[in-house]
Chains A and B, each alone.
Chain A
Amino acid sequence: MIKRRKLRSQASQQPSGNSVSPLGTDLKANLQRMKQSMGHSNDLVVREFRIGYVQGDAAIVYIDNLVDKKMIGEFVLRSTMSGAAGSESNASERDIDVLDTIKNRILPLGEASIAKEWNELFSAVLNGDTAILVSGYAGAIIVSTHGGEHRSVEEPSSEVLIRGPKEGFTESIATNISLVRRRLKTRNLWMDGFKIGNVTQTNVGILYIKGIAGDKTVEEVKRRLNGIETDGVLESGIIEEFIRDHPFSLFPTLDNTERPDSVAAGLLEGQVAILIDGTPFVLLAPTTFFMFFQSPEDHYHNFQFAIFIRTLRFVAFMISLLGPSIYVAAISFHQEMIPTSLLLSLAAQREGVPFPALIEAFLMEASFEILREAGVRMPRAIGQAVSIVGAIVLGQAAVQAGIVSSAMVIVVSLTGIASFTMPAYNMGISIRMLRFMLMISAGLFGFFGIALGGLIITAHLCSIRSFGIPFMSPFAPFIAADQKDTLLRLPRWFLNTRPRLISQENTTRMNGSKPVPPGEAAEEGSPDEN
């Protein structure tokens, strides 16, 4: 039964028609076949004309809106139409010669190649290239005429910085690669291309700096990408799910970013970037747990601020993970830990509340999550009203009606706000889910439950790897040299080694030099001289 299912799916994956057969020489037949394969779609444009060189019929085929029509008109049609007739020579040799000659001598375009097979032809045309078919010759010239509407390079919406470049990736993989190349003008920046997805045929590319990125890592990435068998890849998240190490873990093991400077920084440290056509989110592998706490801004501001902010982020992480749990545990089990005056205040607040602390916490957290999701989807005009309604009306009214206590509202909102400090959204969502589990264990066993839950989570974190790198390095295993850029950020002139496990071969950057105040530099004559 399984075998039959596989065969059937294989059959359905292939588009109708024999894809591996070569083109014939009959122009009309070729054109007819093309139109038929695409179901006479209106946006498949066929423009027939006469090529001057051959003095024969030809046609260009392209898909409307995927091409730059100006380029076609200027460079393809004009140059081919106006060419002089070529010299006569042996007919059998002409087949290849003619197409080649047209390609080599007549077409003044950047990229051109010859396609002999149907699937090559379709793949090219569907990508935005133009195919030139000449009557009597088996083959088609493919010229690159990519065009069409693209989003321009704008500020990335998901990662906003105060200081730093305001360029973000777009949906076009070519633009994205160019954005990275502009920042890393080294010949060692290598790129490999893949086409993933049987129906979508999405262009996927990986970038890495040869000599800095570990060879094994690159091999592993390539291997995993090649192993993906699926219908369609629309977003980097889908690729992520296919190639990640621990599919059932709540924690992400690949980072994603919309910023070219983050990608460039990652490449410099030895990571491999995976770019997918159609999405501005680029994957970076391998990733460690602490990278999710780092924002590129840490490197652009001064280091004291960076240390402060990173510590703050970590504290916020702890609060957002443990906040409601500690509150529930203290209120339900360990009342002796609360200072007396605070306890009296809390007791007074909870006098009228009908729910036990755990249920109350659950309710509040759940409503906060609902509010948050609603706020994201709301059209902008109403979005403001939702937050006001949610926060003030619901919170205040609930407290006054005696359904929840004010302390709980405070705890939940603090937790929610703390979870926003996470620079990486995917880590933030893991934490939101873990928070609920910890709340349950806190409600059952108090601090004991939190401690056990924490142990389980930590053990789980310590057991996962991202492309071979332990997820919790450089804390476990403890690598002293890498502490310079994990929770702290030492001044720039100290950061002269790369993370050891990721860039295994090449770990020394250039030795930074400490800035020297002007008085100590050699003096060259005082400006007072007249």
Chain B
Amino acid sequence: MRTRSASSLMLIGLLLIPLTGCWNSRELRDLSIIGAIGIDKLPDKPGYKVSFQIINPSAVAMTGNGGGGSQAGMPVTVYTGTGSSIFEVIRKTSRLSPRQLFFSHIRLIVIGETLASEDLSHLFDFFERSHEVRLTTKLVVSRGSSAEQLLQVLTPLERIPSDAVYGKLESTESIWSESMVTGVDDVINRLIGPGKQLLISGVRILGDQDKGGEKANLDKTKLPAEIEIKGIALFKNGRLETWLDGGKARGALRIQDKMKSSVVTVPCKDHDDPAAIAAIEITRSRTKVKATVVDGEPAFRVYVREEGNVGEVSCAVDLSKKEAIEELEQRWRSKTKQEIREAIEAAQSRSSDVYGFGEVLNRSYPRTWKKLEDRWSEVFADCEIEVHVESFIRRSGMRTKPYIKE
């Protein structure tokens, strides 16, 4: 009897504890949902300037409570703070934000170009340690403007700008394949892993940067300020070295086997008329990189196999004929090869193995890799890399011969 009442007393005592409050319970009203973070360098002292793009739910949600969007306010608000560590800035910004900053739904981290040009390898520890931030958050570098400015630009069609950028990034990776989607975990793996340097896509503001944040920006059909995904930043040891654009960027994606689909324009016929082009839609592309070791020196071969359809021609090439197709394939092949070569050249000239050749070597020849690991960047710059391309045009759409006459 006594033990029973004693244990029930203890039980009751223990049960009274939760009455003091549930510690981790947070109401949705007390949270600021952050869509994107921008990190910039402070101009004169060490430390960071961090900007937060906070989503205003009532302006964005589809429910009737939201009313007309313009009445409920702007879809996002941007707060900025400075400090010597990112974590510090986040808490400091509570001086500005009426609600606690909530990171679990971040889509995007924007890094200012000036910061990237110095060194970004120290930035990511907070994102690793926090249990709120997901490793799948995507990273971009803001080109020609600061991250803060980029976050302020409003976008049509997609109300939340961070979603807009994210959407642009994903869709261009899959249909134009000149930019790649990089997550925070990729970045971290590349910063520390052996034999792989960093590549991050770039984003820039087209048009008048200052007008981007005004509501008036949305009131026009042709916007004064727009966000565009442009180029890939090439890093060496955490520092931005150069930008890859156009064909080089595409080649860069190709080498990493990230090419999903794109459109390649090749000259139609042998005359040098620049207007006579054929556009080939790439439907499939597979790349394999193989390493070999010759006399202790590593060499690589890049095998590309791609398939496509002819999507548009502006000259009178008869696509029902096999020779015409083969000619186009030939030109396509050489264009692809050229793009890849340019991409490799860009990396080798800066001694930065961004495509992971070192890792390929590690997987096949771990002992050779061990010997070369410490000075891999120099070794890489002189490596011999062969490119073999196979291109196949399968179909030409709903027509065979074009309607264009010579």
Contacts and interface: CB of A to CB of B under 8 A. Distances in A.
B partners with A = yes
Contacts of A331: 28
A344 interface: yes
Interface stretch (A133-141, A283-291, A346-354): A346-354
Interface residues of B, number: 25
Given A344-B57, A345-B63, A347-B31, A333 B25 contact: yes
Contacts of A444: 18, 22, 25
B29 interface: yes
Interface stretch (A65-73, A335-343, A513-521): A335-343
Interface in B90-106: 102, 104-105
A344 B22 contact: no
A323 B243 CA distance: 52
B71 interface: no
Interface string B42-57: 0000000000000101
Contact of B65 (A332, A343, A351, A443): A351
Interface string B166-204: 000000000000000000000000000000000000000
A335 B58 contact: no
Contact of B29 (A344, A351, A358, A443): A351
Contacts of B66: 348
Given A344-B57, A345-B63, A350 B18 contact: no
B327 to A, nearest CB: 49
Nearest to A402: B65
A335 B102 contact: yes
B383 interface: no
B3 interface: no
A514 B55 CA distance: 63
Given A347-B28, A351-B29, A336 B61 contact: no
A440 to B, nearest CB: 9
Contacts of A445: 18, 22, 24
Interface string B13-24: 000001000101
A348 B24 contact: no
B61 A332 contact: no
A348 B25 contact: no
A348 B26 contact: no
Contacts of A345: 57, 61-63
B61 A348 contact: yes
B111 to A, nearest CB: 22
B33 A343 contact: yes
Nearest to A441: B18
Nearest to B66: A348
Contact of A350 (B24, B27, B104): B27
A406 interface: yes
Given A345-B61, A348-B58, A348-B60, A336 B132 contact: yes
B28 A335 contact: yes
Contacts of A348: 57-58, 60-61, 63, 65-66
Interface string A350-365: 1111001110000000
B353 to A, nearest CB: 36
A529 B134 CA distance: 79
A227 B24 CA distance: 52
A446 interface: yes
A94 to B, nearest CB: 67
Contacts of B104: 335-336
A348 B134 CA distance: 23
Contact of A332 (B25, B62, B134): B25
A340 B28 contact: no
A350 B28 contact: yes
A352 B58 CA distance: 10
Interface residues of A, number: 25
Contacts of B61: 344-345, 347-349
Contact of B58 (A340, A351, A353, A358): A351
A350 B29 contact: yes
Nearest to B163: A340
A343 B62 CA distance: 12
Contact of A333 (B18, B24, B105): B24
B24 A357 contact: no
A445 B24 CA distance: 8
B24 A344 contact: no
Given A336-B132, A351-B65, A356 B25 contact: yes
Interface in A416-461: 443-446
A351 B134 CA distance: 26
A187 B29 CA distance: 71
A349 B25 contact: no
B157 to A, nearest CB: 15
A346 B26 CA distance: 14
A333 B58 contact: no
Contact of B105 (A332, A336, A446): A336
A151 B105 CA distance: 64
B29 A335 contact: no
Contacts of B29: 347, 350-351, 353
Contacts of A336: 104-105, 132, 134
Contact of A347 (B25, B33, B132): B33
Interface string A315-343: 00000000000000001110110001001
Interface string B98-142: 000010110100000000000000000000000010100000000
A90 B341 CA distance: 136
Contacts of B65: 348-349, 351-352
A340 B134 CA distance: 13
Nearest to B35: A340
A446 B22 CA distance: 10
A357 B33 contact: no
B18 A344 contact: no
A349 B66 CA distance: 9
A446 B26 CA distance: 11
A435 to B, nearest CB: 19
Contacts of A343: 28, 33, 105
Name the residue in A340, A345, A358 with the highest tally of chain B Cβ atoms < 10 Å from its Cβ.
A340
Given A340-B105, A347-B61, A446-B24, 12 more contacts: A333-B25, A335-B102, A344-B33, A344-B55, A345-B61, A345-B63, A347-B28, A347-B29, A347-B31, A348-B65, A351-B57, A444-B25
Question: Which 10 residue pairs are nearest across A and B when measured between Cβ atoms?
Answer: A336-B104, A348-B61, A347-B57, A348-B57, A345-B61, A332-B25, A348-B58, A340-B105, A347-B28, A344-B57
26 contacts: A332-B25, A332-B26, A335-B31, A336-B104, A340-B105, A343-B28, A343-B33, A343-B105, A344-B57, A344-B60, A345-B57, A345-B61, A345-B62, A347-B28, A347-B31, A348-B61, A348-B63, A349-B61, A350-B27, A351-B58, A357-B27, A357-B28, A443-B22, A444-B18, A444-B22, A446-B24
Interface of A: 331-333, 335-336, 340, 343-353, 356-358, 406, 443-446
